[in-house]
Amino acid sequence: MSTFAQTLVETATAVAAFGADVSDFEALSDDRLLELATVIAAHERAFGLVKAQHAAQVARRSRREFGHSGLAARNGFASPQKFLQHVGNVTAREAGQLISLGSALGEAEAARELLDSGITEVGGAPVELPWDAPITGALASGLLSVAGADALRRGLGDPTEAITGRMLAELAERLIRECSELSPDRLLKAARVERELLDLDGIQAREQELYERGGVKLFPQTDGMLRLTGQIDPESAAILNTALDPFTSPRRGGPRFTRTEDIARAQAIIDDPRTTERLTLDGLLELVKRGSAADPATMQPAMRALVKIVSTVDTAEADINAGDPASDTGFGVIESNGELVSTASVQRALCDGDSVHVTVDSHGKPLDLGRTSRLFDRRQREALAVRDGGCLWPGCDRPPAFTEAHHTKQWKRDRGKTNIADGVLLCRFHHLQLHNNHWEITRRKTDYWLTPPRSVDPAQNPILLKSKSTLIEHLRRRAAS
């Protein structure tokens, strides 16, 4: 029996033996409950592969040339997707996802069989593995779930004349090696950003495309409410989120405060009987009221929502109008959401009052911390935000605005100093977890390592912490190559 078949047999046997009685689960220790979660994920990945192969086979037997004798049509369905929706009880998107992945698995397997047989050309065309073969291979081996494999394929996109299949395959292999444990949503974003980095020349065109696709609509509903719907380009979203965060941040895990007035304000938001969604809407309305009441000719820049854009110094100094070569390869990053922006947007940020611009050198070291902060501790905090890109804890995606500065050499215990080299950013939750559960972060030259307590890992194997900043990681990889 193959390993794949064995996994399915083990799944069926385990489910049948374990049952669904609540008492079975309540009897589990914490360690066994965590172990069960790992086992469930492994079996779900294996079964996802079964579903993808099944979907591909349904699609093959329902091909258009079969007409009404095809499998789906013969059973009363207009397409294999609709057939799978009905018999598999899945959404239209899931059905299409399964068919696409199953078909890709078949194409990779067929190409591999030809190559293994020594056949390198068919009908004058070379036989090559599809660019997404590393992804389907990771799906087949259980490294990726169906959702993860789909996210990686969509994030990387299709090959073009400039971005070849080989380039995408190499990138897919690296992302699988480094990011296979990420959730599908985060894997999709990581893949999309890495694809952008392969084609820096196209950033401005894609930026403009997203801008043009943005927009919102209001639809009246029968109960008197109005439904707001639409989509916002990344740069506009960063402005909106920056403006709205103060209205709800304490509820959503924002940093703790030390000043009495700030503590009181945060507690008032936490105690407010309105829902977080209602607070956000009321905050938006308040901003609109203030904005519409202000005279555009006298409106103060201090009232604007500031968005921080980080770029290398050569990008900031590029002269676009003069055709500076840096404008062809440079880019910036919106700190709050990690989205890439073109050199043109960096230049615009330097001119308007809606952005704080921060430059770093070729190794990611902050050079210019902008003009919005005067106190040294605030400037250090800004530098940490640029370097770390958010909470450094593995798997955490909280942005810099939702983090606190942690002393790797603790202030009282180690008589640590408040300096950038010995400080890291952690969100409130992970900052408290580190202190309460006795985790440790240590620095080795420019790298930071997280050591778990013995209760989590008896061997206390240190975990390398990576910056969440797209720009910083790009610069580190470029410096290492």
What is the distance between the alpha carbons of residues 338 and 328, in angstroms, rounded to a whole number?
Answer: 20
Same structural domain, 350 and 442: no
User: Is residue 351 one of the residues assigned to a domain?
Assistant: yes
Same domain, yes or no: 13 and 149: yes
Q: Domain containing 454: what range?
A: 380-480
Count Cβ neighbours within 10 Å for each residue of 116-126 and write b for 16 or more, e otherwise: eeeeeeeeeee
pLDDT tens, 412-446? Answer: 566 666 678 888 999 989 998 888 888 999 998 88
From the CB of residue 131, how many other CB atoms can be counted at a distance below 10 Å? Answer: 23
Interhelix angle 30-60/3-18, rounded to 10 degrees, is 130
Do 315 and 451 have their domain in common? no
Residue 97 near residue 131 (C-beta atoms within 8 A): no
Within this chain, do residues 412 and 359 fall inside the same structural domain, yes or no?
Answer: no
Domain membership flag for residue 47:
yes
Residue pLDDT tens, the chain, 481 long: 566 566 667 766 766 666 667 887 888 888 888 888 888 888 888 888 889 999 999 999 999 888 889 999 999 999 999 999 998 888 999 999 999 999 999 999 999 999 998 988 888 888 899 999 999 999 998 899 999 999 999 999 999 988 999 999 999 999 999 888 888 998 998 899 899 888 887 888 888 888 899 999 999 999 989 999 999 998 888 888 888 888 998 888 888 777 788 888 889 999 999 999 999 999 999 888 887 776 655 544 444 455 667 777 667 666 544 455 444 457 787 777 777 888 777 776 666 555 666 677 666 666 555 544 333 367 778 888 888 989 999 988 888 888 888 888 765 566 666 678 888 999 989 998 888 888 999 998 888 999 999 988 999 999 999 888 887 877 777 777 6
DSSP 399: -
> Considering 147, 181, 199, which residue would you say is the last residue of a domain?
199
Is residue 12 domain-resident?
yes
CB 384 within 8 A of CB 404: no
Q: Are 324 and 451 found together in one domain? A: no
For residues 45 and 182, membership in a common domain is answered with yes
Of 354, 366, 382, give the one whose Cα is nearest residue 316. 366
User: Rounded CA gap, 275 and 277, in Å?
Assistant: 5
- Is position 315 within any domain? yes
Q: Are residues 384 and 361 in the same domain?
A: no
CB atoms within 10 A of CB 228: 11
How many domains would you assign to the chain?
Answer: 3
Same domain as 108, residue 28: yes
Instruction: Looking at the structure, tell me whether residues 323 and 385 fall in a common domain.
Output: no
State the DSSP code for 330: -
| Residue that is last in its domain, among 199, 231, 261 | 199
| Position 401 in a domain | yes
Please indicate, yes or no, if residue 449 is contained in any of the structural domains: yes
Quick check: is 221 in a domain? no
Question: What pTM did the predictor assign?
Answer: 0.74
Do 52 and 22 fall within a single domain?
A: yes
Q: Tell me if 405 sits within 8 A of 258, measured CB to CB.
A: no
The token pair at 230 is: 């639409």
Each residue's pLDDT tens digit, 108-152: 999 999 999 898 888 888 889 999 999 999 999 889 999 999 999
Question: Is residue 230 a part of any domain in this protein?
Answer: no
Token pair in block for residue 237: 């979203």
Of the three residues 174, 199, 224, the one that is the final residue of a domain is 199
* Same domain flag for 355 and 464: no
Same domain, residue pair 341 and 387: no
